[in-house]
Structure 1
Amino acid sequence: MKKIYLLLLTLCFSLQANDLDGKKVFETYCWGCHHQTAVAFGPPFTEIANKRTKEEIQAYIIEPKAMYKAFGYKRTVMTKLKLNDKEINAISDYILSYKGK
């Protein structure tokens, strides 16, 4: 079921053009708890990018309370953000730009 959900998310996001700047989405919604390379309240993007696929990142953004156990977390404090598909795609691409850094 999880794989089908992630596959549908991937298909949905890949069909849409991404004309948003992921850094701006990050600064608007994520910066209070996450930083690019340093630990803040939440894990840094470098850590997330090296552990997760784009689909996993998007699924967690969309439904953190439904996904935290699947990721092996004991709890989640991440709030459910009201982002549209383009914003979710932009921020997930921005997070993945830190892979390997």
Structure 2
Amino acid sequence: MKIFGSAVPVLLLLVAPAVMNAENHKRGEKLFKAYCWGCHHQTAEAFGPSFKTIANKRDRSEIIAQIADPDHTYRQLGYTRNSMPAFDDLNASQLEALTDYIMQFKDKK
């Protein structure tokens, strides 16, 4: 019993990230549906670029900046105009979850 007891913390360290990733994925998907799906699709071009395109073209900090303050980042990202609204009501945790969700569509190399 003592051996099993000492293995539990190791098992938790291995399982916890997967559980946290699944939870963050659900949060990100929920945020996508609430804020993004009117203009973006996960893998197909819509009014805005797909998450696949965004994930392959941008890093995490650029994605977060564009979501939080597009009026000040669109030119730096190479866009000639900005049609994206600012989502300044999203907190840091929500921005991270949404960015995690977007980044899952990046091509595997």
TM-score normalised by length of structure 1: 0.78
In 2, Cα distance between equivalents of 1:45 and 1:99: 8
- RMSD value, Cα: 1.7
In 1, Cα distance between equivalents of 2:40 and 2:78: 19
User: Which residue pairs with 1:100 in the alignment?
Assistant: 107
- Return the index of the structure with the highest Cα Rg: 2
Higher helix share: 2
In 2, Cα distance between equivalents of 1:48 and 1:58: 11
State the 1:64 CA deviation: 0.2
User: Which residue pairs with 2:91 in the alignment?
Assistant: 84
The answer to whether structure 1 residue 45 and structure 2 residue 39 are counterparts is no
In 2, Cα distance between equivalents of 1:76 and 1:67: 9
State the 1:87 CA deviation: 1.0
Residue type of the alignment partner of 1:40 = A
Higher relative contact order (CA 8 A, sep 6+): 1
State the 1:84 CA deviation: 1.1
Q: Any stretches of 5+ residues in structure 1 without a counterpart? A: 1-16
Q: Any stretches of 5+ residues in structure 2 without a counterpart? A: 1-19
Give the aligned length: 85
Determine what percentage of the aligned residue pairs are the same residue. Answer: 49
In 2, Cα distance between equivalents of 1:22 and 1:60: 16
State the 1:86 CA deviation: 1.1
1:46-100 superposed Cα distances (whole Å, 9 cap, x missing partner): 0000000001100111110100010111001000112111111100010000000
User: Which residue pairs with 1:64 in the alignment?
Assistant: 70
